Structure 1
Amino acid sequence: MAVFVLDKRSKPLMPCSEKRARLMLERGRARVHRMVPFTIRLVDRRMEDSVLQPVRVSIAPGSKTTGLALLRDSETVDATAGEVTRTAGVLMLLELQHRGQAIRDALTQRLAFRRRRRGNLRYRAPRFNNRTRKEGWLAPSLQHRVDTTTAWVARLRRWAPITGLSTMIHRFDTQRLQNPEIQGTEYQQGTLLGYEVREYLLEKWGRQCAYCDAEHTALTIDHIHPKSLGGSDRVSNLTLACFPCNQKKSNQDVRVFLAHDPKRLARIEAQRKAPLQDAAAVNSTRWALWGRLRGTGLDVEVGTGGRTKWNRKRFSVPKAHCLDAACVGHVDAIRRWQQPLLSIKATGRGSYQRTRLTRHGFPRGYLTRNKSAFGFQTGDMVKAVVTTGKKVGTYLGRVAIRASGRFNIQTGNGLIQGIHHRFCTLIQRADGYGYSWTKRALNKGDAGMGAAYAAALSLPGMNPGVSRAN
């Protein structure tokens, strides 16, 4: 996994390897600028003294998760045929998990509070036309998807010399997803062309087998209720299954096949009837995101879902959001895609609500009035070295503060409760996101935190918490 490098004026340079970053830190030629993603700042070099190469950010937008890939492009020209071959070298893979559903739930709760105030307390006439919507307005849960994606593009531009962008334009025909026999004048609005049922099913079923939860394997489309028993081709009757499960199920009805697992059967029955909100979210935000990317002034390459899947198949790359991003657009070859994956989860910056309410709308206890305690805030990344007690060990993760001084730390191996604040050292301030290196490695090795990152934590006298982070 590449390490971001900045010059002495915090201008982006070409990313380097973990080994090179570790050596520069040990020799005193660099300082830690940011811990996650790991970024170092040189003390003896300026951008004018460095040679930069083309670096591109490739994006695979999604409803719940957006894949990001940092790529270094190289082109070779065949003198005889006159053809140009474009090779994408993967520098970093990221997956950004959105919190659109949490925003939607919060707005729904706020709506219920306002309705209660009108109905149960002093009457206040509803005002529906006191706000005007600008052209291109999106619902807050949808606007969040556009904002977080463009925010991370801006962040990557601060850490790497980005020269171009690539994105994928999804187009789901939602009416045909509901009714495959629709045609001609039966469309009531819009030009609905270019649907991709397979891509929709991958989003709907979480890119895993519905019967065994297998991931990163070849998935086939399976009829929940077989056609031989009267099942239809409607998308509500389709699911994803790995090849062994598909062969094992054969033409059995799902109720017969999962008679021994009623919980999974109930989950599949509920999920297959789920609305097309994921497809609608992608449809609503695709052009808004494209417009924001064009506003950066960089060259924006646009690809399709079909082209991305074709690239992934011919390069024998497994299915993942981040690897979809690496295969967007015109790519003739891809290198070094077997890398650890940095998962980024949008957590927000807390809530102004200082109480919890009962189902009747009355306060049920009060939250702390201060959002910081003992110099820490919820969401900070800390390193806890516990030397006494039952929980002796070293823990690294996201902290949840308590006024009592005993914090909870969310690590990659689970939640550790009751860690006293005197054992905690600040690594990085909360920025509205949670970071984790997924154990689901994309290669045969283990996806660890990285050699340079681990070396920075162990350097004598280093306090990453006081380094600058943008």
Structure 2
Amino acid sequence: MRVVVLNKRGKPLMPCSPAKARLLPKERNAIVVRRTPFTVQLTIATGETKQPVSLGVDAGYKHVGLSASTEKAELYASEIELRQDITDLLSARRELRRARRNRKTRYRGPRFDNRIRTKRKGWLAPSVENRINAHLSRIEAVLRLLPVTKITVETASFDTQLLKNPDISGKEYQEGEQLGFWNIREYVLCRDGHVCQHCYGRSKDPVLNVHHLESRRTGGDSPGNLITLCETCHKALHRGEITLKAKRGQSFRAEAFMGIMRWEVLDRLKASHPELEVQNTYGYRTKHVRIANGIAKSHCADAFCIGGNLGAERLGEFFFQKQTRRNNRQIHKLSILKGAL
């Protein structure tokens, strides 16, 4: 992988070969400022001739691919694994606060008059905001290392109703699957024919319950996460005496996120870097370019195709990063560690 070079003021220059980078510190013309990726900062004045550098961003719900390249060579390639625990941590914190209020112990009072949605336009859910900020922070990290002149982000929009029903058209878009039902419970019972989906009536129990296949804390109350069980099977399930074969229906979290971040990342990049050319592309274009050039599928490969410099010599490796939790507060844990207050 090529070595990142900064000038005396810390501004990015064109990278150099590892052989040349080894000589610079020995001759006291540069100092090492970072190990991964290997970065040196010059201690002498030098010319700052730069070439156009294009940064391709393969945006995603779980992974992000980045590739910076010139017409001749790929300069930087990385893959980032995003956090998937935001929703679960926030739900656990909410449950702990509610439990403390009920026990009349130390607690944080509910703030019904301090809802952020009413105070700031454009509010996004914390899980969505975290992923968008992760995209932006990784892009900013590359901009600090390379003199990028153009950024291309792959965006996508999904028709979730079309994914559920491929034959949907016209006014059917305004008539959801719960049309004519008072609530979700009534819809689920009708969908399952008012029959227990485990014993199918063999228990002779007339009382029916609606069970969450995935925890309500993280799975929500969507119809795909609900199933009809008689009270006998429902209690036996919670006692661990039986197991369900049914699985949660298709979740559209990733599709919803991609629809939200579609313009959000572009707008924030344009606002923070008006001097750069920021544009978007689409997944079908990336797929066509990748297949036409015989490139194996990966997040870094998609980012390379998005960058547009298909004649550049590719790097044989990439920089893998995994986003981790920064804070580890005792008050957010379900089981407090021994000795913690």
Deviations 1:125-157 (A, max 9, x none): 744342232222111111111112111222222
Larger RCO (CA within 8 A; separation ≥ 6): 2
Contact (CA 8 Å) 1:90, 1:334: kept in 2 or not? no
Q: What's the counterpart of residue 63 of structure 1?
A: 61
Give the number of aligned pairs: 269
Unpaired runs of 5+ residues, structure 2, are: 176-223, 225-244
**C-alpha deviation, 1:30, in angstroms:** 1.8
Aligned counterparts of 1:3 and 1:302: Cα–Cα separation in 2: 28
Unpaired runs of 5+ residues, structure 1, are: 75-87, 190-235, 237-267, 370-470
- Paired-residue identity, %: 36
Does 2:132 correspond to 1:146?
yes
Give the 3 Å change call, closer, same or farther, for CA 315–124 of structure 1 in structure 2: closer
Give the 3-state SS of the residue equivalent to 2:85 in structure 1: helix
Does 2:166 correspond to 1:166?
no
Contact (CA 8 Å) 1:356, 1:365: kept in 2 or not? no
Aligned counterparts of 1:292 and 1:97: Cα–Cα separation in 2: 21
Give the 3 Å change call, closer, same or farther, for CA 175–336 of structure 1 in structure 2: same
> What code does the residue aligned with 1:42 have?
L
Aligned counterparts of 2:66 and 2:103: Cα–Cα separation in 1: 48
Deviations 1:382-418 (A, max 9, x none): xxxxxxxxxxxxxxxxxxxxxxxxxxxxxxxxxxxxx
More helix by share: 2
More strand by share: 1
Give the 3-state SS of the residue equivalent to 1:15 in structure 2: coil
Deviations 1:433-456 (A, max 9, x none): xxxxxxxxxxxxxxxxxxxxxxxx
Q: CA RMSD in A?
A: 2.7
Contact (CA 8 Å) 1:315, 1:334: kept in 2 or not? no
Contact (CA 8 Å) 1:166, 1:302: kept in 2 or not? yes
Q: What's the counterpart of residue 240 of structure 1?
A: none
Contact (CA 8 Å) 1:357, 1:364: kept in 2 or not? no
Does 2:142 correspond to 1:156?
yes
Alignment of 1:29-178 (within 5 A): 29-46=29-46, 49-72=47-70, 74=71, 89-99=73-83, 101-121=84-104, 126-133=110-117, 134-178=120-164
Give the 3-state SS of the residue equivalent to 1:8 in structure 2: coil
> What code does the residue aligned with 1:136 have?
G
Deviations 1:34-62 (A, max 9, x none): 1112111112234xx22111112211100
Aligned counterparts of 1:355 and 1:64: Cα–Cα separation in 2: 24
Q: What's the counterpart of residue 314 of structure 2?
A: 337
Aligned counterparts of 2:309 and 2:88: Cα–Cα separation in 1: 43
Please report the TM-score for the alignment, with normalisation by the length of structure 1: 0.53
Q: What's the counterpart of residue 262 of structure 2?
A: 286
Give the 3 Å change call, closer, same or farther, for CA 125–341 of structure 1 in structure 2: closer
Higher Cα Rg: structure 1 or 2?
2
Please report the TM-score for the alignment, with normalisation by the length of structure 2: 0.72
Contact (CA 8 Å) 2:116, 2:123: kept in 1 or not? no
Does 2:338 correspond to 1:365?
yes
Q: What's the counterpart of residue 185 of structure 1?
A: 171
Give the 3-state SS of the residue equivalent to 1:32 in structure 2: strand
Aligned counterparts of 1:328 and 1:65: Cα–Cα separation in 2: 15
Contact (CA 8 Å) 1:323, 1:337: kept in 2 or not? no
